[in-house]
Amino acid sequence: MSADTACRPEPDSENDVELADLVAAMNVAANRLTPPNGYRTGPPRTTRPRLSDRKLSLQERGSRMARQPTIETKRVSITDADDCVQLNQYKLKNEIGKGSYGVVKLAYDQDSEQYYAMKVVSKKRLMKQGGFLRRLPPSGSNVQQDPFPKAVLPLERVYKEIAILKKLDHHNVVKLVEVLDDPDEDGLHMAFELMTKGPVMEVPTDDPFTEEQARFYFRDVVLGIEYLHYHKIIHRDIKPSNLLLGDDGHVKIADFGVSNEFEGTDALLSSTAGTPAFMAPETMTEHEQSFSGKALDVWAMGVTLYCFVFGKCPFYDEYIVSLHNKIKNKAVEFPETPVISNELRELTERMLDKKPETRITIPEVKLHPWVTENGLNPLPLEEEHCTALEVTEEEVQNSVKLIPSLSAVILVKSMLRKRSFGNPFEDQGRRAERSMSLPGGLLTGTYGIMGSSPVPHPSLRKVSHEGSREGELEDLYEDEFTESND
């Protein structure tokens, strides 16, 4: 079956037209990528939503509706048709991107007659990538542990992400609709709301936002990040390609593949993750140290704001080492055109302060004159748009399903094939990779600016030193281990 083949709903011509429009949008969106060094190849984006077309957000309307709980399906029926894969009530169509730990496909829900973005990962491959049954740190240890330590298996990280996403309920954060996870099947499927308008901006672009447009979208980002920080979540990969436009014209934050939970007032991180052009200078020190998670998100928001108004990243170099040097040592420069206000320049400089201890904070950003239009348009108070959220240990345990039979089969098959009793899951070298992750919908893929090379230059990949993350899962259902007749 071709991965690009679209599986069409049966009934009427309206559905066919709607699907054709969606597929056309997918083909255009395939080039909406932001490489790690801040530059993209491919045809320019031809249309942009107008602010006059937008609807008022829930916050602006002054009301909130409780989100529908995430559906958890434990039994999955997978059928191969001539032109598609049937997954319960979903028809999986063409691939629309690659996300953290998997690929993303357009999915049509026959029951609700809605389209979703279906993220597909292979539990077997995730187990293989992370090693087999590594020992975790002692539970009684007094040493402060990273919420996602290197010893945690990638599969456990995915379930942790699911446990977080199931509870998130905010107008500026993408929603997880359904999780399909059959213990007897290798595939883990996550259905997200589909963001057909794609990323808010391509980088680079010769048509950046006006200050009014940039302010509107940036305010959405501020509210979304404040909500995440309120619930003790550090995003760690804020950039235009992870900011998706909803049907109402507002931004939703997507991709929690490298996010961190924390306790207390802030996360003290010692590992690097994210896209190099949007990473803060304190993460690029030669010796390992801890740094503020909230400050990392603020820096990435500053780079994103710069992209909004100038159409390019403030620091750019095609070589990753030179890029790091510029981020650490070079002062931010503002082009002569377009001309921006002094308030916007001052806010950008404070967000791109190379010293995290003096960098502006989210509460200060909310009150900044440029954001509030000199107090004429204040943002909602924290208590007005942040609802209670708590991911308990019990909920995480319920989310993580043990699959001893699957791991045993992998182990036995591998040993029989190799005639070896060594660890078949031992990492043979960790590859840094970039992932223009999805969860929401038309996110991105793993294309680099050097073309379609199957092994892109390290400067073109998302960087993560938290563990092995191989994102190229071309065939998620391929059994790598041959059956033995003995």
Beta carbons of 222 and 362 less than 8 angstroms apart: yes
Return the structure tokens found at 168.
């998130």
Q: Tell me whether strands 71-73 and 176-181 are parallel, antiparallel or unpaired.
A: parallel
Measured between alpha carbons, how far is 410 from 482 in angstroms, rounded to an integer? Answer: 10
Q: Select from 188, 238, 132 the least CA-distant residue to 400.
A: 188
- Distance from the Cα of residue 104 to its chain's centroid: 12
Beta carbons of 123 and 403 less than 8 angstroms apart: yes
Return the structure tokens found at 139.
């539970």
Q: Which of 237, 255, 297, 317 is catalytic?
A: 237
**β-pair partners for 260:** 234
DSSP symbols for 322-372: HHHHHHHHPPP---SSS---HHHHHHHHHHT-S-TTTSPPHHHHHT-HHHH
**β-pair partners for 234:** 260
128 is in an annotated binding site: no
Cβ-Cβ contacts under 8 Å for 216 (sequence gap 6 or more): 51, 54
SS3 state at 234: strand
Tokens 């043990």 -> residue: 402
* Count of other CB atoms within 10 angstroms of residue 22: 20
Measured between alpha carbons, how far is 146 from 150 in angstroms, rounded to an integer? Answer: 8
Measured between alpha carbons, how far is 88 from 73 in angstroms, rounded to an integer? Answer: 10
Query: 396: burial class by Cβ within 10 Å (0-12, 13-18, 19+)?
Result: middle
Q: Is 237 a catalytic residue?
A: yes
Q: What residue numbers does the annotated binding site cover?
A: 119
**Catalytic residue IDs:** 237
Binding residues for ATP: 119
